Every structure is written in structure tokens, then in C-alpha cells.
Chain A
Amino acid sequence: MSTATHDAAHGHDHGHDDHAHEHKPYGMMRWVGSTNHKDIGTMYLWFSFTMFLVGGVMALIIRAELFQPGLQIVRPEFFNSMTTYHGLIMVFGAIMPAFVGFANWLIPMQIGAPDMAFPRMNNLSFWLLPPAAMLLIAAQFAPGGGAGVGWTMYAPLTTQAGPAMDLTIFAVHILGMSSIMGSINIITTILNMRAPGMGLMKMPLFCWTWLITAYLLVASMPVLAGAVTMTLTDRHFGTNFFNAAGGGDPVLYQHIFWFFGHPEVYIIAIPAFGVVSQVIPAFSRKPLFGYASMVYATASIAILSFMVWAHHMYTVGMPVETQLFFMYATTLIAIPTGVKVFNWVATMWKGSLTFETPMLFALGFLFLFTLGGFTGLVLSIVPVDVQIHDTYYVVAHFHYVMVAGALFSAFAGIYFWLPKWTGRMYNETLGKWHFWLSLVFFNVTFFVQHFLGLAGMPRRVPDYALQFAEFNAISSVGAFGFGLSQLLFLYIVLKCICSGEKALDKQWEGADSIEWTMLPSPAPYHSFTTPPTIK
């Protein structure tokens, strides 16, 4: 992507003699100091992909150990550390930054703004990420090894864990700061910097989903920061928030964490909805069905997501009335989610469909995310969840919504906008291979985990009873297949950047947002320096 944006500045030198950036700085300094939303978007995406590989290696260590019952490859402490940092790195390092990368690239181009509202803060938001990632990786080498406390970082394990825990807490603080600054930037950009005529209800749905997500982030990230700060002061400064002996309560941690945690899962899912809502209409050659209802559904999902947190805690010993409240509130979320799924299907109804790679990934998302939503509904039923809480069924559920949901949607988005970003086309045949390999191996890996969970295999354990051996072996084979398929993705993207065929300005016939209709491919380094007029 870097080489391509590079081309852009020379290829399409728009009239912007009124400022100093006519020639981009070259070399490292261009990236370190860049305040350009496209550069920063590119850096977010590469950072995210790097973290995806790091977290992926951790996942493969987990699956290698679980290939057979018994302890073969790693020590249990290290195994626990792998499950913990795999989760943290994938959530905070891979998925979230990927969508922030999309936001940076696309929001200014889709609303006709010259850049983000606070370009220098944008640079800082990005550059906070590498140190945080470093801390998470360094935690592996702390005395006593990584903190095997789970990505949810429950007390009292965390108040007793070794020094790695402190590094992890600082990393979470930094990641939180970065997200909050990024969100403030996005909200301000969308609310204040739209081109004349670009009313809120005219924005592409991707911008709407990010506006809502950014509010979710500003509201929930500080709560997580509070939870880990309390853990930190419990560890070192004699407070007793979660320490039972001092009058605290470890269950309190879970309430605070999940008050952040459930909105967090929608922070991951909602931008993915946004990407899919751009891709499906483009390849159906029809406008999105029920645009306004999509906006309202997304907003109601966001609001409801603050009222369902205790569905992660049915088994902590709460009164049945509380369980019922959270059960009904949780099942309520299925309604706006259903509205969205039906709208996507209705968009395709009687459309002139074609199935290029972005559309394939969007359809993969649609099927598998819905399946993950269904298992979520199963889990939301108290008597069922009491049985399968903390089993592999939960692992299967959230990988359907996060991998086949969010990650597939990110792939769809990359293939969709790569021509706009780089001015070059990826190889369609290879793209389709990437899709089908990912689809098959994803299901081989995770579908069988439903059966494991229903049969009672607990999550986060390095060893298991013999009756689980076959499904675990299948799952591990799938995981290695899935991991290797992602190297193909890297190859496709690099090949596209270096030697892809020239892309058209409007590469996709059905794409109608202004980055396609008003800007050349590749998009110039500075776009919309004078606001376009939107009819």
C-alpha cells in the first residue's frame, strides 16, 4: 500500500499549492510524523495485520498443544499465557485497529472532508499502539512468564499474578487512550467536517456505523481503564476493590469489566456491519434496502449493549430476577440485529448479483455471523448457559461473530477498497482462493467446537479427557489450514501493490459513494481540499 499512495502524489497532483505538503517527505520520517489520514490509515492496517500474525502464532501454539490429549508441547502456565495474549492481541491489536484503519482511510473521503479533524492527535493515536503491543509481547519475558489470567483479566487471579500483569495493565491503558483519542477524532470529523449537502442521513452507512461505534468507545473504554486501574492499585497500593479480605469483592470486577465488555463486542461488530453495508449493495447493483432502519437498528443495538452485561455472569450467583432481566434484555438485541440481516438479504433480492471476492467475503460474513448470533441467543438462555458457560461452545460462538463476522468483513473491505487505495487490482482468482480456503478451514476449526462444548469440554485448559480427542484433532488441522491461508492474503496484497493491473476510478460498477464517483484511483494524497458539492 505504501508504494501505491506514493504513486498517487505524482500521478494526480491536484491544485493544492496553498500548503506545504505538495511533496510528501520520503523515508521513515514520512510515516513517523505523518498527519495524513491516508498514511495513518495505511499504518493502522499494516499494524493490525502484523498483530494478526502474532496473535495467530499464539493461536497455533494453543491448537498444537490441543491436537492430542495430554501435555506435549508447552507447559500449562505458558498455555494459559497464550490464551490470554491471543485474546488481548486479536481484540485490541488486530480487529480494532483494522477498523480504525478503514475509518481513517474512508471517512474523510466518504463525507468530502480534506482530512480528519485533529490530524496531529491522529498521528499520536496510531503511535501509541506499537509501544502497547511491545508491552504485551514483553510480558511473556517477565519473571514468572506471561500472566495467564485470561483476556477478561478477572480478579482475584490478576491481583495475585506476577509482574507481567503490570505490563499488561499498562498496555491496556495505552490502548484505551489510543482508542478514545481516535474516537474523539472520528466523532468530530463526522459531525463537523461534512461537505456542504452531505446531510447525516446521506452519509454512506459505513460512516454511520463508525459514528455510533466511536460513541460506544468513548463511553466504555474509560470504564475498562477504571477496572484495570483498580486492579493495579489493589496489587500495589493497598486498596481493596476486589480483595475479599479487605472488604472488596472479586465479582465486582466482573460487573465493571462486562459493563465495558459487552459494548466492546459491538465496537468490534458495528464497523463490520458498516463495511458489509457498503459491499453488498455494490455487488447487488441496488441501493441498500432500508437505509434509515439500518441507522436506527445500529443505534438501538448500541444503546441496548449497555444493558446486557451480566449475561456473561449468569453463574456467579445472582438472584433469579436479575438473571431473567439480563436474559430478556439480551434476547431483545436479536431484534435490531435481525432487522439488519433481513435488510442485507432484501438488498440482494432481485439484484444483479456478481460474486467477486469482496462479495464472497460479505456473504460469508452474512451466513456465519448470523450463525454466531444464533449461538449467542442459545447462550443468552439462563438454564442453557449454566450448562455450557465456559465451555468450547462459548469459544465457538465468539469466533463465529469475531472471525467469520468481523475479520471476514475486514477482508471484504480490503478487497473492495484496495483498488481505490492503491490504484491497482488484486488477482481475482487468488482472492477467491483466499475466500474459499478461509471459509472451509474456519468451519473445520470452529464448527466442531460447538460439539466439544455441548459435550462439556471446558475452555482455557491445556489438556482434556480422551473422549474429546477426535474433534480437537480436527479443529487443530483446521486452525493450521486457516493460518496458512492468511499468508496467501499477504501475498495477494503485496502482489497487488507491486504489480497489480491498473484499477479503474470506479472499479465496481455498483459502488456509489463519493470516493468512487468523485475521486480517481488511486485516491490522491490530498483529496477534497476544496469541499465537493453533494447534490
Chain B
Amino acid sequence: MNPGQTKRTLRINRQMFVRLSFFALLMFGFGYAMVPYYKKFCQVTGLNNLLQPDTVVSNTQVDKSRWVTLEFDANTHGMPWQFAPVQRSVRVHPGEMTQVAFEIKNNGGSTMVGQAIPSYGPKHGAPFVKKLECFCFKQQVLAAGESRQMPVQFVIDAALPASVTTLTLSYTFFEVPAADKKNASAPTVATGKAG
């Protein structure tokens, strides 16, 4: 060690080393603490509420004066599943309760669990698509060769800006990693929220 250092400096240096290392560890933990905090934040503020039913706004007056086209898109991400909307698009009035359906089939050789993640376009139209019932609210289990029709029930909020005349609702199915399978058959929300 350094000749100029007395025993006392050595001691307080070591103390400071311990304290600062502890602080660094704490900050490592803080990074992880951001995960639940972020989830909670999104839950409380209702941000990024992808995998939970939306609440219908109080004023559900059907706006008969205009039409909105909702287009559907279906994808799978690296899964041997066949996934398609039954109808390519629907024309609806804002405020009108509508039901559509999607079809999936497991073309793979074994039982698989998938989770659909919705996304919307254009971005500023997204908050106005209110899903009341969706297959994306829970994980889907399909045996080899099994197929299924699944409903989506939605309302387009009448507050949708008049400039938006077409909206796209797109789903992508992801395979659920083995470690994260939840009781997928249960009708409740099976995965944690994305938010």
C-alpha cells in the first residue's frame, strides 16, 4: 500500500469501499424494482391495458351519423399455427357493440400454448377501440391438429376523432415459454398485464 497512508486512512477507506459497494448493489436492485413499479404504474393509470377488458365509457350513444371501418390482421410469431380473421373488415357506427371472430388451428405435432398480443393502427386511434371480450385475455391451448373459433367483442368509442375513418386491429400469437404457462383454460385473465 501507499507509504503516505496511515492506519486510520486505510480504515476509513475500507469503510467507504463497503458503503459505496452496498450502494451499487442497491442500485442494481433498483433496476429490478422498476419492473413491478412500472407494472403498477401502468395499472393505476390504465396505460397499456392490452390484455384486460376495457371498460365502456358511460356515454354509449350510437353515433349513426358516421361509419368507421375496422380492418383485421392476424399473425403468428414462429409458431406452426394457422391464424386468420373470419372477416377481413367490418363497417360499424361508433358506439355500436359488434362481435367478430378469428380462427386458429394448430398445425404442429404437439399441444402448444399461445398468447395473442393486440396492436392498433393508427396510433392515435388505439385508445378508442374498446375490447369487451377477446381471446387475447387468456392463453390459448391447442392440441396437435385442434382448431377453434374465437370471438372478439368491441365498441368503438363515440369520442373517436372524426378524422379517423379506418382503424386496424392486428393480433400476433406468441408461443408461451414453458416456464410461464398459467392455467390457460381458466376463463379469467391468464397472464399478467403487459403494462
Which residues of A does B touch, CB under 8 Å?
16, 18-19, 113-115, 117-119, 180, 183-184, 187-188, 191-193, 218-227, 230, 238-241, 243-249, 251-252, 255-256, 259, 317-319, 528-531
Give the docked Cα–Cα distance between A224 and B32 (Å).
11
Q: Is B3's beta carbon under 8 Å from chain A?
A: yes
Q: Is B34's beta carbon under 8 Å from chain A?
A: yes
Q: Is B67's beta carbon under 8 Å from chain A?
A: no
Contact status B16-A218, CB under 8 Å = no
Contact status B47-A252, CB under 8 Å = no
Which residues of B does A touch, CB under 8 Å?
1-5, 9, 12-13, 16-17, 20-21, 23-32, 34-35, 38, 42, 45, 47-48, 51, 77, 114-115, 117, 123, 126, 174-180, 191-195
A222/B25 contact (C-beta < 8 A), A117-B13, A256-B34 known: yes
A16's closest neighbor in chain B, by CB?
A: B3
Q: Which residues of B contact A528 (CB under 8 A)?
A: 4
B51's closest neighbor in chain A, by CB?
A: A247
Contact status B194-A244, CB under 8 Å = yes
Contact status A226-B32, CB under 8 Å = yes
Partner of B20, one of A119, A218, A240: A218
Contact status A184-B21, CB under 8 Å = yes
Partner of A222, one of B1, B31, B192: B31
Write the nearest CB–CB distance from A318 to chain B, whole angstroms: 8
Contact status A118-B27, CB under 8 Å = no
Contact status B191-A246, CB under 8 Å = yes
Which 5 residue pairs of A and B lie closest in terms of their CB atoms, listed nearest first? A226-B31, A245-B174, A238-B179, A247-B192, A114-B4
Give the docked Cα–Cα distance between A238 and B29 (Å).
20
Contact status A184-B27, CB under 8 Å = no
Contact status A247-B21, CB under 8 Å = no
Give the docked Cα–Cα distance between A252 and B2 (Å).
46
Give the docked Cα–Cα distance between A322 and B35 (Å).
18
A116's closest neighbor in chain B, by CB?
A: B2
Q: Which residues of A contact B23 (CB under 8 A)?
A: 218-219
Write the nearest CB–CB distance from A128 to chain B, whole angstroms: 15
Contact status B16-A191, CB under 8 Å = yes
Give the docked Cα–Cα distance between A259 and B34 (Å).
10
Contact status B178-A238, CB under 8 Å = yes
Partner of A317, one of B17, B45, B123: B123
B181's closest neighbor in chain A, by CB?
A: A246
A256/B194 contact (C-beta < 8 A), A113-B4, A114-B5, A246-B177 known: no
A218/B27 contact (C-beta < 8 A), A184-B17, A247-B192 known: yes
Contact status B3-A114, CB under 8 Å = yes
Contact status B28-A225, CB under 8 Å = yes
Contact status A188-B3, CB under 8 Å = no
Q: Which residues of A contact B194 (CB under 8 A)?
A: 244, 247-249
Give the docked Cα–Cα distance between A4 and B186 (Å).
75
Contact status A223-B27, CB under 8 Å = yes
A220/B27 contact (C-beta < 8 A), A245-B117, A317-B123 known: yes
Contact status A252-B24, CB under 8 Å = no
Contact status B35-A115, CB under 8 Å = no
Q: Which residues of B contact A243 (CB under 8 A)?
A: 174, 177
B8's closest neighbor in chain A, by CB?
A: A192
Give the docked Cα–Cα distance between A187 and B19 (Å).
11
Q: Which residues of B contact A529 (CB under 8 A)?
A: 2-4
Contact status A115-B176, CB under 8 Å = no
Write the nearest CB–CB distance from A257 to chain B, whole angstroms: 10
Partner of B31, one of A188, A218, A239, A256: A256
Give the docked Cα–Cα distance between A241 and B28 (Å).
15
Write the nearest CB–CB distance from A95 to chain B, whole angstroms: 21
A247/B193 contact (C-beta < 8 A), A114-B5, A317-B123 known: yes
A and B contact pairs by CB, cutoff 8 A, 15 listed: A114-B4, A114-B5, A183-B20, A184-B17, A184-B21, A192-B13, A218-B24, A222-B25, A222-B26, A222-B30, A225-B28, A247-B192, A252-B38, A259-B31, A530-B4
Q: Which residues of A contact B42 (CB under 8 A)?
A: 249
Contact status A225-B31, CB under 8 Å = yes
Q: Which residues of B contact A19 (CB under 8 A)?
A: 3
Write the nearest CB–CB distance from B42 to chain A, whole angstroms: 8
Q: Which residues of A contact B45 (CB under 8 A)?
A: 319
Contact status B38-A255, CB under 8 Å = yes
B10's closest neighbor in chain A, by CB?
A: A117
Give the docked Cα–Cα distance between A358 and B99 (Å).
72
Write the nearest CB–CB distance from B3 to chain A, whole angstroms: 5
Contact status B20-A238, CB under 8 Å = no
Partner of B180, one of A117, A224, A247: A247
Partner of B28, one of A226, A240, A317: A226
Contact status A249-B195, CB under 8 Å = yes
Contact status A319-B47, CB under 8 Å = yes
Q: Which residues of A contact B2 (CB under 8 A)?
A: 114-115, 119, 529
Q: Which residues of A contact B174 (CB under 8 A)?
A: 243-246
Give the docked Cα–Cα distance between A174 and B28 (Å).
14
Give the docked Cα–Cα distance between A252 and B48 (Å).
11
Write the nearest CB–CB distance from B34 to chain A, whole angstroms: 6
Write the nearest CB–CB distance from A183 to chain B, whole angstroms: 8
Give the docked Cα–Cα distance between A243 and B126 (Å).
21
A247/B191 contact (C-beta < 8 A), A119-B2, A530-B4 known: yes
Q: Which of A119, A188, A193, A259 lies at the interface centre, i.e. has the most chain B CB atoms within 10 A of its CB?
A: A188
Q: Which of B2, B25, B38, B191 lies at the interface centre, i.e. has the most chain A CB atoms within 10 A of its CB?
A: B2
Q: Which residues of B contact A191 (CB under 8 A)?
A: 16
A224's closest neighbor in chain B, by CB?
A: B31
Contact status B195-A180, CB under 8 Å = no
Partner of A249, one of B13, B28, B48: B48
Write the nearest CB–CB distance from B142 to chain A, whole angstroms: 15
Give the docked Cα–Cα distance between A18 and B2 (Å).
10
A246/B4 contact (C-beta < 8 A), A191-B16, A193-B9, A219-B27 known: no
Contact status B176-A244, CB under 8 Å = no
Contact status B177-A192, CB under 8 Å = no
Partner of A238, one of B5, B123, B126, B177: B177
Q: Which residues of B contact A531 (CB under 8 A)?
A: 4
Q: Which residues of A contact B30 (CB under 8 A)?
A: 222-223, 226
Q: Which residues of A contact B32 (CB under 8 A)?
A: 226, 230
Give the docked Cα–Cα distance between A361 and B178 (Å).
58
Give the docked Cα–Cα distance between A318 and B24 (Å).
30
Contact status B35-A252, CB under 8 Å = yes
